[in-house]
Every structure is written in C-alpha cells, then in structure tokens.
Amino acid sequence: MHEIDQLLLSNRAWAAEMLAENPEFFNRNVNLQRPVFLWIGCSDSRVAPDQMTQAVPGGLFVHRNIANLVYPDDRNLMAVLHYAINVLEVNHVVICGHYGCGGIQAALDGAPEGPIAHWLEHARQVLNDHRGEIEALPQGDEQVNRLVEVNVRDQLLHLARTGPVQDAFAAGKPLQLHGWVYDLRDGHIKPLMRIDRETILNEVPKPERVLL
C-alpha cells in the first residue's frame, strides 16, 4: 500500500474510533472553535503539538515554521496572531522550540544559499547576540541545544513587541506568553520563561540552561 493511501485509511479509522467513543465528537466543532492556546512551533515532523499535549480538536490554534521564528513582517504569522488574540480571544501564546532542531543547527553551521538561508536570518542574529556563550560550549549537541533555548527566549521577546500583543497588554487583557522547549528524547515539554503585561521586556534575562 502506498504511503498516501495509508494516510487516508488511517484517517477513516481515526474518525470511526472518535464517533464510536462520542457520536457528537465532530458536530461540536462544526460551527465554532474555542482554543485556549495559540501554539507557535517548529515545522519538524517529529514535533506534533496536538499529539504531545493530547489536545482535542479545537483546543490549539497552531502556527508552525522552521525554527519557530517570529518575524514582525511575516504576514502569515501576524494574521494568525491577530486572529488568535482579537477574535478567538486566547489568553496564552506558546513558543515551543525543540532540542536537536535542524533549523537551529543550520543557523549554527551556516545554511546553504536559498530560501532556508534567507528564512534563518533571525536565528543567525540570535547566534550573533549570544555567540560568546554558545562558542564557549563544546561543539555539537551542547551548542545546538543551548542555541535552541536562547532562540526561544529571543523569539518570545520579538512576539511580546508585536502590535497585537502590545495592544492586548495595553487593554489589560490577561494574555500570557510562554517559552517552552520540547525534548525529543523523553517527550517532555520544559518551560523556560513567561511574559505578561507586567514584564519589563528590556530586563528579561536569558533562561537557565535546562538541558545540561
């Protein structure tokens, strides 16, 4: 059986299982969605937010890109962020990186020319901003995984300075931003930091190293 046919067969089996457990499973999601979280994560195929959190359909509003980067001029992400905060009224936005990230590895090694190299400009800037700390570590996984952690921190600060988030903070909305890292080795999500409307952004420290 071809892989594409297996996907469709698996989908039908999953739908049948959901209906057997709850005949109203799909009806309840037809007319509206009420997610509590906006999840901004990496496109890596090993990092599936719905699976790792056991979120039900409608529980997570999701945006994914290589290395979970936040560009204020990324119209796709800004549209998702605006809709999540102002229409869906989510109270939590998560940026979740993951150890062993190929995008971060490419930023560290120097990605070849092309669309990926252009996309990773923000990640290379993170490396430049933290180069002393990163290069003081042994080459290999330790450098990559620490860069993953500080990248989450720096992207969370980019997120906190976007228009939709600043407007929500100014309006007194109970919006919280969370920086997490997913560990491929054990399946655990490891919180790094949190930002809310009381946080002084210029004083946000680097996170403690989680993966030692």
Q: How many CB atoms lie within 10 A of CB 111?
A: 21
Query: Active site residue: 42, 146, 154, 178, which one?
Result: 42
Query: Active site residue: 63, 98, 122, 146, which one?
Result: 98
Q: Is the pLDDT at 208 greater than 80, yes or no?
A: no
Q: 44 an active-site residue?
A: yes
Q: 42 an active-site residue?
A: yes
In a domain, 212, yes or no: no
What mean pLDDT, rounded, does the chain reach? 91
Please tell me the predicted confidence (pLDDT) of residue 91.
95
Query: Active site residue: 44, 63, 146, 178, which one?
Result: 44
Q: Is the pLDDT at 5 greater than 90, yes or no?
A: no
Residues 26 and 96 in one domain: no
Residue type, 165: V
Q: Supply the range of the domain harboring residue 136.
A: 33-203
Q: How many CB atoms lie within 10 A of CB 19?
A: 12
Query: Active site residue: 46, 131, 161, 188, which one?
Result: 46
Query: Active site residue: 50, 64, 74, 101, which one?
Result: 101
Q: Is the pLDDT at 151 greater than 90, yes or no?
A: yes
Tell whether pTM > 0.95: no
Q: 46 an active-site residue?
A: yes
Report percent pLDDT > 70 for the chain: 97
What does the alpha-carbon distance between residue 147 and residue 151 come to, in Å, rounded to a whole number? 6
Q: 2 an active-site residue?
A: no
What does the alpha-carbon distance between residue 206 and residue 194 come to, in Å, rounded to a whole number? 12
Residues 17 and 122 in one domain: no
In a domain, 172, yes or no: yes
CATH number of residue 159's parent domain: 3.40.1050.10
Mean pLDDT along residues 86-115: 92
